[in-house]
Each structure stands twice: as C-alpha cells, then as structure tokens.
Amino acid sequence: MANVRDALWASGQDESVEVNQRALIDKVLARYSGEFTVFRELLQNSDDASAKAAEIRFETQPHLSQDKTAPQDDTLLLKDSSDKLPDLKTSVVHQWTFKNDGMPFRDQDWTRLKKIAEGNPDEEKIGAFGVGFYSLFSVTEEPFVTSGGQWMGFHWKDKKDQLFARRGSIPSTESAGPDPWTTFTMPLREPGPPPHPFDFIRFLTSSITFMAHLTEVSVFFDGKRLARIRKERGVPRLLGLRKGLKAETPKRLMRVTRVTVTPLSIKAEVMQWVYSYGSPRKRHLPAVVQDTRKAVSSGFFSTLFSTFGGTPQRQPSLMPEAQVQQLKEQNDEAENGKLHGVIESSVVLAVFSAAVDVVLDERMKREILRATKKSAPQKMEYQLIYTGKDEYDASKKEDEHAAGSIFQGLRADIEGDRNIRIWNEELLGVGGYLARTAYEQEMDDISTLWSTSQDNLEIKTHLRSRALHALQFFTFHASTPAPQVATVLEEAFFSCVPEATMFSALIGAEQSSSFPIISTTGIRSASAVRLPNAIFAEFLKQLPVLPEDVIAGASAMVGSLRGRGMIKEITFEDVLQELRARPLSEASFDSNAHRGLWLTDQTE
C-alpha cells in the first residue's frame, strides 16, 4: 500500500494552499478577546522592549485635522480652565495611537511583525503566541508603525482578504533629531467613544504594577492629558523559603528557589474630568472636592477597591426660569473649571517575587515549542501583589468594606492544549505557594508585634483587624473567564505543605493541617484554634478561639477551613485540658453548675 501511495505521489503536482488571512486573524483574536486587549498586548510589548514610558492618545477627527506643526505643551493644557471639555461618553474618536520609548525595531523585529502567530522566540519575553501586534486588527483595518527612522503600513489588497505590508524609511530633517518613540497608529474601523475613562485608567494602574521595565503611562484625549501613572520600586528584601512549605509544584515541573518582597509605590495624577464619569458598574458620582489641585492621598486608589458615594439630589427650584438658567450656566462654568483640576494620589504595595527553576523532559519541551512558538524558559520569575492593611486603609478611607481578590482576571488557559494546560496548572501551583508564603509572612509579622504588645488592647485590636484583612485578601473568589483558575490556586494555597506521615506523627511534627490564623490569644495554628461556643465562654479563658469579627468578616475563608477539617468546634477534651491547667473560679463554677455542666475527669 505504501508503494502505491509513493507512486501516486510521484506522479502528482504541488498546489499552493490558500489561507483567508482575514478569517485566520479573526479566529486567532477570538480566543484572546477581552476588555482592553489591544492595550494589554501593546503594554506588554513595550515592556519586552525595555520601555520606561508609554503614551496612549485618543483623537477625534477635528483634532487630527489641526496643524500639528505648532509646538504644544501638553502639561499646560491641564491648567487651562477656559476650554469647554467635551463629553467623553459621546465624543467620537477616529484614531488610537500608542507610543513607547523602548528599543527601536531591528530588522528581525520588522520581519517578525509581518508573520502571523510566529511570536517572539526569546524565552525571556512574555509574548508567546504572536498575537500581540495582530490584536490591533480587532479595531483597525490599516495599522501603521514607525520606529527607529523606519515605517511599516498594513493594508488589505484590493479591500479583500489577503493582507500586505509596505515598508520604507522616514525622511530625516536637520531641524529634528531622531524620533525616540516607537508608534502604533490605529485609524479606527468604526469610530466611536473612547474606552470608559475611569475603568481604563484603573486597568492601566493594575497593568503597570507587573511590568519589569515600564514605569510611566500617560493617557491623552485630543492633546489633553487625562492621567499619568508612575511607579517606583524600593529595595528588595530576601525572605528565603519557608520551612514547612513545599517549594515544588504538584507535577514537579517547577521549583521555587528564592522569595523576595519589594515595596512598590504607584502615584497617579488624574483629571477630575475622569472622576466625573465614575464607573459604569456603579452609576453614582463622587462628591465634588473643594480644591482639585490639592494632593489627595486616598482619592484615586480608594476607587480601585470601592464604590462611589451617593450622588447629591437636586432639590426643586422655586426661582424664575431665567434666573435658574443663569445660575445653571454659572454652575456649569464653575464645574467645568473644576474638571480641569488634577487629583494626585498614591498607594504602596508589597511585591512578592518567586525565582523559579523549570525542569521539563524533552517531549514536554517539544510540545511547548510547538504550541507557543518559543522554547520554555529554564528560569522565570512569578510575582504577587499584596496590599497590607495599613496601606489599604490609607488608599481607601471612604469605604471600609472587604478587600477584593488579587486573583480576579488572572489569565490562564487550563482547558485548551493538554501541555499548555499542564504548564499553566503548574504556574498556578507556584502562585498558590507564593500566596501562602505572603500570607504566612504577614502572620509572622503580626505574631511578633502581638508578643511585644504588653496586653495593649488598642494594639491587639489593630493587629486582629490586620489579620482579618489578610484572610479576606487571600480568599479565592470565582475567576473569569476560566472559573477553574481560582479552584486550582486555592488548592495549591492549602496543599503546599508536606503530607503527614506515621513517622511525623510519632516525632510530634506538625501535620499538613497546620495553618496560622488569628485567635483570641494571638496567631496560632488552625488545628489548635476552636470555633466559639457561648456555653463554654465563661470559663474557657486560655483556649485559642476564633474571634467573632473574623468569622463574620472572613466567612468564606473560615468556611473553607471548616470544610477541609482544619478548624473545629470546642470539644470536651479542650474543656478538660483547661480545667487541669487552672482552677475554676467560684463565679464560673456557679454559672456552669446552673447550666448543668458538671464535668468529671474520668482519668483520675
């Protein structure tokens, strides 16, 4: 049969396979659809190019038609309160522009830009599937790129389904030096309003946090700077690997070798204009501040975690209509002036970083290369952001509700290619280990402060609220788009402890259920802490009990601990142990005798 096939093959002729490139790009992008996808990819590409700064510009047709040769000072435009600001919800934007000051394109970069889904072969770079640049085609038909004195434009030949690229050099002028920016220009396929300003700035604030090189992002609308976000890293502190936690992932493909924690300060300058739109998820508007030019330490970042306050209600007017209209115009003019103001805000985060060694067999290496178009890294870094209680309160003074999940929106494919699924599950295993490390480090710090508090009630109350904050922070909520992500992370968080053995039990080693948690007596292992019981509250003074406010404030985490059998109800053995340890007072004796709680030590 093989000989017959070979004979037929020899007699045949080759024909090219035609690919509908438009349909191919659409299908590739459909898998990576999501809010702000274009900007997420361009930000990551900028970071891969070691860019320090990036600019995002939204421009209307009237602005594009203006003479751009006249010198402009974008910062001055922020202070000019005479211009009437447009409505960002209805203004029609015709072009997006993204710029970064990273390394200019090399010949290999221009060549790779023309190849769909080839990806960056550098294993140290994030981009893997080659869809970063092609995400631009979700909003534009003809993207245009300039970098290092060269340009490349894309167009659909004869307006059909085959994509072509044209490349050339930018004429140099004696008066102007080389352009330091790499620029992606996107004339929109369908002009429309810009992304919702408040949510978009919040997205950028979150994105810049994890960038290795990018430290500043600015957003402009028709030349007016809406926001500038900057970050500054502190000095990293080595934590080492915690005893009692397994640094190896379940399938032993990855192993954490080092953990550090680094303070990260993020500062934002945001026009009041942006604040006036709030978030579409919460329709309320913030109250007008008295002086928008004044530095505010909590305004912007507090809204990253909380909802806005209620909108003041307008009372019926009994004035003549003409006077009402005059006052309205004066009020509108005053409000427009305030919208030009800039609110400065800041937040300090803790970045936990894990250095990870990767060990794959040859088959797995080949499959990763096939699926991602790049070799799997031998070493990598995994980062987790933690906002401590004090820092959280400083950035969220107007809302004291529970913290949100740090894992919401984590992107991972655990349903697709089998090898990519295994890889990502192992990555989530590292994430669970790092989250557990961060949590236990916080418990260690609280335990140290508790032991030196000298029974100061105010200090202990603060420490208990700090521990509650950590429990809330490391509660794993349902994730999107893949709900399994949170499940895998939570399992890794709780299971990164050695399995208990008969030998470990004989020598008194802590079992796998060991989990540090706040109690009425400070930080204790969850196995030694009990759920409160009003019946025994009168005389169990030494037994570590879970505080009522912790049960109420961290109900999801407490429920998970109970479901895993890691925290239990008070038992009679607990009562007997405390009775052996101290005499029962007359008041406690009478109280519990009245309840009929006569206990007899059967061992005597």
The token pair at 297 is: 């330490």
What is the share, in percent, of the chain residues with pLDDT greater than 70? 71
- pLDDT at position 371: 78
Task: Give me the helices (H) in 359-417, please.
Answer: 362-372, 389-394
CA-based angle 349:407:484, to the nearest 5?
165
pLDDT > 90 fraction of the chain, expressed in percent and rounded: 39
User: Could you give the CA distance from residue 418 to residue 407 in angstroms, rounded to a whole number?
Assistant: 23
Residues linked to residue 297 through DSSP beta bridges, in sequence order: none
Q: What pLDDT is recorded for position 11?
A: 83
Give CA separation, 90 vs 60, 193, 194, in Å: 11, 6, 9
Region 576-585: mean pLDDT is: 70
Q: What is the mean pLDDT of residues 72-87?
A: 56
Lowest-confidence pick of 209-223, 291-305, 559-573: 291-305
Q: How does residue 583 score in pLDDT terms, banded at 50, 70 and 90?
A: low
Token couple for 425:
């599950």
Q: What pLDDT, on a 0 to 100 scale, did the predictor assign at position 331?
A: 52
Least confident of 74-88, 279-293, 385-399, 590-604: 279-293
Decide if 511 is inside a domain: yes
Cα–Cα distance between 518 and 463 in angstroms, integer? 9
Task: Give the count of domains, the chain.
Answer: 2
Highest mean pLDDT among 128-137, 334-343, 453-462: 453-462
Adjacent-strand bridge partners of 248 = 255
Q: How far is CA 15 from CA 10, 18, 139, in A?
A: 14, 9, 34
- Alpha carbons 264 and 349: distance in angstroms, whole number: 5
413 has a pLDDT exceeding 60? no
Using H for helix, E for strand and C for coil, what is the string for 370-384? HHHCCCCCCEEEEEE
Task: Count CB-CB contacts under 10 A for residue 105.
Answer: 21
pLDDT digits (tens, 9 = 90+) for 310-323: 333 333 334 455 54
Instruction: Specify the pLDDT at position 387.
Output: 83
Residue where a domain terminates, one of 127, 160, 195: 195
| Alpha-carbon distances of 104 from 118, 149, 150, 174, 279, rounded to whole Å | 20, 9, 9, 20, 36
Residue-level length of the chain: 604
Q: What are the angstrom distances between the C-alpha of 456 and each of 194, 449, 546, 548? A: 53, 11, 19, 20
**pLDDT bracket for residue 216 (50, 70, 90):** very high
Greater pLDDT, 510 or 120: 120
Most confident of 425-434, 508-517, 590-599: 425-434
Whether the CB-CB separation of 147 and 105 falls below 8 Å is answered with yes
pLDDT tens readout for residues 164-204 = 889 999 887 766 677 899 999 999 999 999 998 888 988 89
The verdict on residue 601 lying in a domain is: no
Give the pairing of strands 254-271 and 224-233: antiparallel
Per-residue confidence at 1, pLDDT binned at 50, 70, 90?
low
Q: How far apart are CA 464 and CA 310, in angstroms?
A: 31
CB neighbours (10 Å) of residue 478?
10
Q: Please give the pLDDT value at position 281.
A: 56
Q: Flag whether pLDDT at 309 surpasses 60.
A: no
Torsion of CA 585, 587, 588, 594, to 10 degrees: 140
pLDDT at 124 over 60: no
Count of Cβ atoms closer than 10 Å to residue 62 Cβ? 10
Kindly state the DSSP code that residue 195 receives in the 8-state scheme: S
Please say if the pLDDT value at position 117 is more than 60.
Answer: no
Residue 136, domain CATH:
3.30.565
Band the pLDDT of 481: cuts 50, 70, 90: low
Residue 276 lies in a domain: no
Assess whether pLDDT exceeds 90 at residue 222.
yes
pLDDT at 396 over 60: no
- ω into 481 cis (within 30 of 0): yes
Asked whether residue 178 is assigned to any structural domain, the reply reads yes
Least confident window among 137-146, 305-314, 342-351? 305-314
Backbone angles phi and psi of 563, in degrees to 5? -65, -30
Angstrom distances, CA of residue 447 to CA of 99, 109, 552: 48, 52, 22
Q: Which residue has the higher pLDDT, 127 or 4?
A: 4
Out of 49-58, 88-97, 427-436, 505-514, which region has the weakest mean confidence (pLDDT)?
505-514
Please give the angle made by the CA atoms of 37, 33 and 157, to the nearest 5 degrees: 85
Is the pLDDT at 73 greater than 60? The verdict is no
480 part of a folded domain: yes
Owning domain of residue 140: 21-62+86-195
Q: Is residue 239 a contact partner of residue 159, using CB atoms and an 8 Å limit?
A: no
For residue 292, what pLDDT is reported? Answer: 30
> pLDDT-derived band of residue 394, with 50, 70 and 90 as boundaries?
low
- Going by pLDDT thresholds of 50, 70 and 90, the confidence category of residue 34 is low
- At residue 395, the pLDDT reads 61
Tens of pLDDT, residue by residue over 510-527, are 444 589 999 999 999 999
pLDDT at 408 over 50: no
pLDDT of residue 580: 75
Q: Does 402 have pLDDT greater than 60?
A: no
What pLDDT score was predicted for residue 102?
95
**Residue found under tokens 């031998």:** 378
- Is the residue at 225 inside a domain? no
Mean of all residue pLDDT scores within the chain: 77
- Average pLDDT of 6-31? 75
Residue 573 confidence class, pLDDT cut points 50, 70, 90 = confident
Q: What is the pLDDT of residue 333?
A: 54
Q: pLDDT at residue 473 above 80?
A: yes
SS3 117: coil
For residues 22-35, give the mean pLDDT: 70
- pLDDT of 93 above 90: yes
Mean pLDDT to the nearest integer, 394-399? 51
pLDDT in the model for residue 259: 96
**What integer pLDDT is reported at residue 540 of this predicted model?**
76
Of 370, 549, 360, 410, which Cα lies nearest the Cα of 472? 549
Note whether residue 488 is domain-resident.
Answer: yes
Q: Please tell me the predicted confidence (pLDDT) of residue 370.
A: 83
Contact status, residue 561 vs residue 567, Cβ threshold 8 Å: yes
**Domain limit, last residue, from 158, 174, 195:** 195
Tokens of 4: 């017959």
What are the b/e assignments for 488-503, b being 16+ CB within 10 Å?
bbbbbbbbbbeeeeee
Whether residue 393 lies inside any domain: the answer is: no
Beta carbons of 227 and 269 less than 8 angstroms apart: yes
107-116, 226-235, 479-488, range with the lowest pLDDT:
479-488
Among 165, 195, 225, residue at a domain's last position: 195
Q: What is the pTM of this model?
A: 0.73
* Rounded-to-integer distance, Cα 168 and Cα 152, Å: 6
